[in-house]
Amino acid sequence: MTIEIIPAIDLLDGSCVRLLHGDFDKCKVYDLDALRLANQYASDGAEWLHVVDLAASRDGEDADIRPLLRLLEKAPQSVQTGGGVRNDKDIGIRLDQGASRVVIGSISVNQPGCFAAWLKDFGADKLVAALDVRLDEDGIPWPRTHGWTQGSTRNLWQLLDYYSEMGLVHLLCTDIGRDGAMTGPNVDLYREITQRYPGLKLQASGGVSGLNDLRELAATGADSAITGKALLEGCFSVAEARQFLR
């Protein structure tokens, strides 16, 4: 079974960064130009790019999203982008600027009716539900929002039961405990998602540290794997990953 590699770029004030467990106080800045990095990933064979605008997440309506919009306009591959998307205007701006898909986090957790309406208005192929989860002591995954500081009244399975009826196509799921830690992905979680909801196109995120992790993710039935830090740290390249998975 194959899996698509989607490199991730986190933008903060125009710089490429990575956060550990989403914590702005644990931020590593990379001396890399985002567009140059996007071009490198494209030349290595990445047909998609995942871009998170951390400034929009942090600053809300006051955020300077010009670095994101420049990247959307010039990136050579298809781009999906999230971070700070709070209304239909935010979605429209990103799509109009060249984004192929817009990733919705907090709204998809806290206002499922609103997100379901957007699926209808914009088209299910244009939106991604980004559900960042933390497992409780019973192993039940619960979505978290607002920098992972707030919980949800519905667990992951309850939300996906609803969204599978509303026509959701693209799901990005991150195990918070694995994100940015390079400790290996939660393959059991992703396998359960694909078994419960075979109609969803799952993007697995969090914990990838080496090529064997990608092979394990492919075996879960996930359609794609999002990886950021492992690429930035030189653990492997997109080209090496594609060759390995062949």
Out of 16-25, 57-66, 131-140, pick the least confident: 16-25
- The model's confidence at residue 22, banded by pLDDT at 50, 70 and 90, is low
For residue 71, pLDDT beyond 90: yes
Measuring CA to CA, which residue among 140, 220, 132 is closest to residue 180? 132
pLDDT at 147: 65
Out of 1-5, 6-10, 144-148, 235-239, pick the least confident: 144-148
pLDDT at 187: 95
pLDDT at 239: 97
- Give catalytic residues, as residue numbers: 10, 132
For residue 21, pLDDT beyond 80: no
Amino acid letter, residue 202? L
Q: What is the mean pLDDT of residues 75-101?
A: 96
For residue 59, pLDDT beyond 70: no
Other residues' Cβ atoms within 10 Å of the Cβ of residue 243: 12
More confident residue, 67 or 216: 216
- The model's confidence at residue 26, banded by pLDDT at 50, 70 and 90, is low
Asked if residues 128 and 104 have their Cβ atoms less than 8 Å apart, the reply is yes
Tell me the residue ranges of DSSP E strands in the chain.
Answer: 4-12, 15-20, 23-30, 48-53, 78-82, 101-104, 127-135, 141-143, 170-175, 201-205, 224-227
Residue-wise pLDDT for 116-175, tens only, equals 999 999 999 999 999 999 999 999 999 998 765 677 889 999 999 999 999 999 999 998
Top-ranked range on mean pLDDT: pick from 92-96, 176-180, 227-231: 92-96
Amino acid letter, residue 144? R
Measuring CA to CA, which residue among 188, 190, 235, 189 is closest to residue 208? 235
Number of helices and strands (H, E) in the chain?
A: 11, 11
DSSP summary character for residue 78: E
